[in-house]
Structure 1
Amino acid sequence: MENGGQTRAETVRNGVAKLLETGLAAETDNILVHDAARCCLPSEALARLIEQAGNAAEGGILAVPVADTLKRAESGQISATVDRSGLWQAQTPQLFQAGLLHRALAAENLDGITDEASAVEKLGVRPLLIQGDARNLKLTQPQDAYIVRLLLNAV
């Protein structure tokens, strides 16, 4: 077991480093990083990620196209409507080879790294976007628990 960090990126960096240094993972082994807050991951979405990104050197993430209209705000007022074409909402799990993930998270300063894909992108690598699932929602706000309960009871 490895200690976590102050941030998600530090925690993943520590875990990947430990896997590599102990020989539990090789540089080319795939690592899946998943948020515990996404407790409704459909098995078919996971299978799709592994099937489509499992052999890809650039790795991949689950994501869904942004469906809602997006607004930019300043001082509590709308300043612009953002074009959502080409925008995707990232999900987890995210799949990368251990060596690539280790290099991507090796930076001393991980400010601005919000997920593993953003770290990999800083290396100039373009991970694959694999169709995610709306049921793979992130339990962040208290009202999200209601939706999660509905999803879990529907199974």
Structure 2
Amino acid sequence: MQGSQPSLFRSLIWWTVYSVCGVWAMYLVPGVDFLLPGLLCSMQEGNKAQTIWLMLLFTLIQEGAGLLAFGPGLLWYAMACLLFYLGRSLFEAENIVFILILSAAMGAGHVVIGITMRHLQDVAILLPRLVSDGCLNAVIIPLVWFVVFRLRERELRNVNAA
């Protein structure tokens, strides 16, 4: 998916629309991160400045929307970046198997981060809820990634054709 990058304005509009849709989807399906697939696509594009800005924006959204004090959103996206950059040394970054493995790891990470924050912040979070949210993340992230990847690929193809 690497190649020419769209103009700054076009990228800003695309990612703003994506972020609004992602926040809306997170409202409809609580516990699932619909922003992470966009961050994965940005990392696949190789645009580091864009990825850093998106990671900052998505972390602030997650931290502001959650019931826990500061920390879980930062851990979540840091873990995603770490797993992505480690995993792409073993797999092609755009391979669906890589995304499935990464999503399963993120689902498990959701449970671990939730348990850790539950103990650190003395908040009552039910373990079955954490596990079900982790499983939902593991299933939904690859599906959303596939849609976002295709849409973003089409956007980049339009830029290259122009």
Asked if Structure 1 and Structure 2 have the same fold, meaning a TM-score greater than 0.5 normalized by the shorter chain, the answer is no
Higher strand fraction (1 or 2) = 1
Higher helix fraction (1 or 2) = 2
Work out which of the two has the higher radius of gyration on C-alpha atoms and give 1 or 2: 1
TM-score in terms of structure 2 length: 0.27
TM-score in terms of structure 1 length: 0.28
